[in-house]
Amino acid sequence: MLFILKRRTGFWMRYSRTLTKERKAIMKLITTTLVAFTGLGLYVAPLALAAGDSFVGKWKFNPDKSQLNGLTYKVEDAGNNQYKFVFGDDAETVTVDGKPTMTKYGNTWSVTKSGLNAWHWVTKRNGKTTSDAMWTVSDDGATSTYVSTETRADGSTSHDETKLKRTAGTSGLVGTWESTEIKIGSPSTIEIAMWEKDGYSIKIPIYKGETNFKLDGKDYTPKGPRVAKGTTISGKKIDDRTMELTYKLNGKTNETDRWELSTDGKTLTNTVTYPGVDKQEVDVYDRQ
């Protein structure tokens, strides 16, 4: 998920990644980012393909066709009114006092307890709010809901909702949570064009992000107001309809995307692997 907060599958760790799905996406986002990203995704195809069958064009994320559920998030009590939020090999520790905490992705998190079973979550970048969310745990502690309003770089917003079930722990936020339902209010669109004859340019207008790269295994640096410092992307061709992109932050891999173009050229399927996470995320994009 070009991690530009990748649209993103919505959720706290994703939105911290706001690189370029978000990130989820970014970021996760995206990235999903993810991450969004969280917090931070898209890309290209081999030159051997005919122009009408290539990855070049405009693509819109389709949450109904995608498989976003089943990812696991952990919350640990770090003592002194601090929580440690863990997603795979990624973790951030925040004091629940409403004061901003700088994350490794260049965003700040501010978390405040709001009532008995709710936590208000604000993510900012360069002083501007990118996500305003409320994470509420049910009275019986078995489920929780994360509702957020995401503000993109172009000023547009998306109202997203993630429902989770508890798989470990008994009450409050501390424990292990598995996503069961994710609703994306306003899915993003990605634009892919040729770059320097044998490379590709990927733009995500709502995040004002752009990544230019070639499928040569070399590191390239994404551009945009929400790209985390130290972020790189490298790509390689797998076969005539599949390519793999690796995202790194300061040299450490934080996401691997495998993109596959359908035989009719109308669909892009991205299988996302996060370090330390057993289940893969599957993102589907429709040609516009």
Q: Could you read off the pLDDT of 199-239 as tens digits, one per residue? A: 889 898 998 989 999 999 999 999 999 888 999 999 999 99
Give the global pTM: 0.82
Q: For residues 145 and 182, what is the distance between their CA atoms, to the nearest angstrom?
A: 10
The percentage of residues in the chain with a pLDDT greater than 70, rounded to a whole number, is 82
Q: For residues 131 and 264, what is the distance between their CA atoms, to the nearest angstrom?
A: 37
Q: Quick one: average pLDDT of 121-143?
A: 96
Considering only residues 284 and 19, tell me which one the structure prediction assigns the higher pLDDT. Answer: 284
User: Dihedral of the CA atoms 19, 39, 235, 62 (nearest 10)?
Assistant: -120
The CATH architecture that domain 12-64+189-287 belongs to is Beta Barrel (2.40)
Name the residue ranges covered by the structural domains of the chain.
12-64+189-287, 72-183
